[in-house]
Structure 1
Amino acid sequence: MTRNSTPTRDVFLPVAAQPSIDTLVEYAQDAEELGYDRAWLPETWGRDAVTVLTAIAERTDEIGIGTSIANVYSRSPALIGQTAATLQEVSDGRLRVGLGPSGPAVVEGWHGVDYDRPLRRTRETIDIIRLVLSGDRVEYDGDIFTLSGLRLRCDPPDTPPGLDAAGMGPKSVELAGRFADGWHALMLTRDGLGDRLDDLRRGAELGDREFEDLRVTLSLPCLALDDRERARGLARNHLAFYVGAMGTFYREALERQGYEDEAVEIASEWANRNHDAAEAAVSDELLDDLGVAGTPDECRERYAEWEAIDGVDAVSVSFPRGAEPGEIDATMRALAPE
C-alpha cells in the first residue's frame, strides 16, 4: 500500500490540566506559527473540548482544529452533529472530528452512563452525524437510536468536516475503515500499527470503500528535552498511568503487541498503589516502541522513523501528562516541521 509520501505534522494538545484556556490557545498559536497542520484537543474530565476549540478557532487563522476524541456517550449523536456544524462555521472550514467510545473510566466513572455496545454506538453515531451535516431530515432507525422528523435548523456546512474514529483493537479499527473518513491510532508499536492498518484495509473493503481515501492520524507521545532522564521519566509515568489507571484497553493493546508480561505487571503494581514500581516495570524497549522521549537530536531522528511508516498520513506530537508548559513548548519547537 502507498499513501502520502510526506505525512503532515500535527499537535495533540495536552490531555492533562493546563493553567488556563489561554495556555491552550497559545500552544495552538505557536503550533500554527511553527507550521503544524492541525491542533487536536482531547476531552476527558477537564475543560470541555468545544469551548476551547472555539477559542482556538477565533484566535488562529490557518491551523486545522479537531477533537481527539469526543466520546459517543456524553453527547447525543445529533448534538455532536450540531456541534460539528457550528465549529466548522466558526473555524471557516478547519474542523475535523475525531470520536470514539473512550472507556468505562470516563464514561461510567465521570459521566455516569453505562458503557454498553461501544462499537455499535460508534457506528450509529457516525451515521447520524452524517445525516445531520447533510441538512436533510434526519430519519434513522438503528439498534440504539431512533430519530425522526427534524433537520438542522441552520444551513449545513458547504464542506462537511471529516469524521475519524479512534480505536486500538481489531474490530474498532475495522469499523473506522468501514464507516468513518479516517482512523486515530494510539498506543501502538510499529508492528502493532502494521497489524491495525491491515484491519483498516479490511474494513474499507467490507464497506466497499477506497482505502486510499481514509486518513490515518497517529498520536505519538513525545518529549524532547536537554534533560534526557527527565524526558524519559515523564514518558514512563505517562505510560504506566494509562496502562494502570484507565481501564483494560491499554493493557490489552500492549498484550496484543507482545508485551503481555510487562502490561500485567504495570497494571498490577498500579492497582496496588505501587506507582513507582509500575513505572519501573516500563522497560526502555517498551518506552521506545511506543513513543519518542529523550534529547532533541535523538527525538528528531526517531520521530522521522515514525513518519516513514507507509500508511500514516499525519503524526501528531502528543505530550506526557506530567509535562510542564515550558517542556511542551520546547518539544513542539524541537519537532516542528522544517
Structure 2
Amino acid sequence: MKLGLQLGYWGAQPPAGVGELVRAAEESGFDAIFTAEAWGSDAFTPLAWWGRETSRVRLGTSIVQMSGRTPTSIAMHALTLDHLSGGRVVLGMGVSGPQVVEGWYGQPFAKPLARTREVVDIIRQVLAREDKVTNDGPHYPLPYAGEGATGLGKPLKSIVHPLRADIPIWLGAEGPKNVAQTAEIADGWIPIFYTPRSAGMYQPWLDEGFARPGARRTRADFEIAATCHLQIVKDATEKQGVLDFLKPVVALYMGGMGAKDQNFHKQVFERMGHADLADEVQKLYLSGEKERAAALIPDELVDDMHIIGTEGEVRERVAAWEETGVTTLLLSSHSADEIRRIAEVLA
C-alpha cells in the first residue's frame, strides 16, 4: 500500500508551509500529493506550482468537480500538467452535489451517473487522440448543435499530442450505483469515509462493476485511494485530544455539507449504520448548534474513520486498511516532521 499526502483545498487564505510538506513527502518516499477543490481554490493550479518542486511523486486531484469545466477543458488541464510533470498526473474527478453544482457553477445537477460516463468517455477520446472528438450524449454534445448554435461547430482533435494516452482516471463515488459504475469505467476509486469496518458494504458494488461487459479494470489492477487522518500519539490521553479535534469535521459532513433532504455524505453514514445519529446531528447543525452536533459524534466512529494511536497501534491499523483492498492512503498532515515520522514508522 502506498502513501499520499492530501493537501486538500484552501480555507480563507492559502495555507502556510505547504512547500515543506511537499518536500518531506517526496524525500520520505510518499507516492503522491493530492489537492482538492470546493468553491474557492482550484485543484490544478497548486499541483502545477508544487509539482515544480518535485521530480518523483504523482500529482493527483481528489477531486476535480466535473461541472466546473467542460470535459475537453478537464482533458486540456490534465494533458498539459502531465507533460510539464513528466507523466505524473492522476486525474481524480467527482460530481460534487446540487448545492455546489447549481449554486456555484450554475449547471444542472440531474443525471450524475450519465454525465459522469460522458465526461470520462470524452476525456479518454482527447487523450487517445485517435480521431476527432465527438459525443452524441445529451449532456455534453460535441459538436454542439442545440439552441443558439451557429451551425459552425466541427469536431476537433487536440493540437497537443498527449504524453500519455492512459492518464489514470479515478472517480469519487459514494452510492451503490456510482461505485459500481466507477469499477466499470475508471482506473481507481476515491471513497469518502471508507473504513475497515464499512469496507464489506462496498465489495458487492465493486464486484458488480468489474463484472460488467467491457469493464476497464479488474480488482487486481484497480486502485482504491482512501483518505484519513493518521496521527501517532504517546498515550490514550493524547489520542482523546485528537479524536475530539476531529469531531467537528465529522459533524460538518454528516449534518452540514449538503441540503437537508439531499446530503450524499449523510447518506454514507446512514449506510454505515448511523442513521439516527445522522438525523440528530443534522438537526442540530442546521439549526446553528454546531458544538452540540459535534459533541454527539462517538469516539468509536472517529476512531474507525481515522488512524490514531501509538506506533504499534498505527502499524496494526494501517495493515487492517490494506487488507480491505486499499492501495493508497491519502493522509492529511500538519508538519514535515509528522510526515517523516509516519514514513519511518511504516517503512
Relative to the length of structure 2, the TM-score reads 0.87
| Larger deviation, residues 148-157 vs 221-230 | 221-230
> What is aligned with 1:213?
221
1:169 aligns to 2:175 (yes or no): yes
Which structure 2 segments of 5+ residues have no match?
Answer: 144-154
CA distance in 2 between partners of 1:108 and 1:296 (Å): 45
**SS at 2:308's partner residue?**
strand
1:142 aligns to 2:142 (yes or no): no
| Contact 1:317–1:332, Cα closer than 8 Å, also in 2 | no
Percent of aligned pairs with the same residue? 32
**SS at 1:335's partner residue?**
helix
CA distance in 2 between partners of 1:278 and 1:59 (Å): 41
Give the direction of change, closer, same or farther, for the CA distance of 1:17–1:334 in structure 2 (3 Å limit). Answer: farther
**Which deviations, in whole Å up to 9, do the C-alpha atoms of 1:102-126 show, x marking residues without a partner?**
1123323332333221111111100
Given candidates 194, 205, 215, the residue that maps to 1:199 is 205
Give the direction of change, closer, same or farther, for the CA distance of 1:73–1:168 in structure 2 (3 Å limit). Answer: same
**SS at 1:73's partner residue?**
helix
Give the direction of change, closer, same or farther, for the CA distance of 1:29–1:313 in structure 2 (3 Å limit). Answer: same
Give the direction of change, closer, same or farther, for the CA distance of 1:112–1:234 in structure 2 (3 Å limit). Answer: farther
> What is aligned with 1:271?
286
Where in structure 2 are the equivalents of 1:47-62 lying within 5 Å?
47-62=41-56
> What is aligned with 1:335?
342
**Which deviations, in whole Å up to 9, do the C-alpha atoms of 1:45-68 show, x marking residues without a partner?**
232111111012211110111000
CA distance in 2 between partners of 1:302 and 1:90 (Å): 37
Cα distance, 1:229 vs. partner?
3.4
Q: Which amino acid in 2 is paired with 1:161?
A: I
Give the direction of change, closer, same or farther, for the CA distance of 1:164–1:194 in structure 2 (3 Å limit). Answer: same
Given candidates 14, 32, 36, the residue that maps to 1:42 is 36
> What is aligned with 2:269?
254
Given candidates 121, 137, 144, the residue that maps to 1:127 is 121
1:238 aligns to 2:243 (yes or no): no
CA distance in 1 between partners of 2:286 and 2:311 (Å): 34
Given candidates 331, 334, 338, the residue that maps to 1:317 is 331
1:184 aligns to 2:190 (yes or no): yes
| Contact 1:235–1:293, Cα closer than 8 Å, also in 2 | no
**SS at 1:206's partner residue?**
coil
CA distance in 2 between partners of 1:170 and 1:330 (Å): 39
Q: Which amino acid in 2 is paired with 1:146?
A: P
CA distance in 2 between partners of 1:44 and 1:224 (Å): 29
> What is aligned with 2:300?
285
**Which deviations, in whole Å up to 9, do the C-alpha atoms of 1:177-229 show, x marking residues without a partner?**
11111111121232422221321221121143342232111112334455433
Give the direction of change, closer, same or farther, for the CA distance of 1:14–1:50 in structure 2 (3 Å limit). Answer: closer
CA distance in 1 between partners of 2:78 and 2:140 (Å): 19
Which structure 1 segments of 5+ residues have no match?
Answer: 1-6, 320-324
1:71 aligns to 2:65 (yes or no): yes
- Coordinate RMSD, CA, aligned: 2.1
Cα distance, 1:88 vs. partner?
0.6
**Which deviations, in whole Å up to 9, do the C-alpha atoms of 1:129-166 show, x marking residues without a partner?**
00011123102111211114111111122353100111
Where in structure 2 are the equivalents of 1:80-99 lying within 5 Å?
80-99=74-93
* Structure with the greater alpha carbon radius of gyration: 2
| Larger deviation, residues 207-216 vs 239-248 | 207-216
CA distance in 1 between partners of 2:142 and 2:169 (Å): 20
CA distance in 2 between partners of 1:153 and 1:176 (Å): 29
Cα distance, 1:21 vs. partner?
6.5
Q: Which amino acid in 1 is paired with 2:257?
A: M
Runs of 4+ aligned residues of structure 1 deviating over 6 Å after TM superposition are none
| Larger deviation, residues 60-69 vs 262-271 | 262-271
CA distance in 1 between partners of 2:337 and 2:240 (Å): 15
Relative to the length of structure 1, the TM-score reads 0.89
**SS at 2:100's partner residue?**
helix
**SS at 1:150's partner residue?**
coil
Q: How many residues align?
A: 324
CA distance in 2 between partners of 1:22 and 1:152 (Å): 37
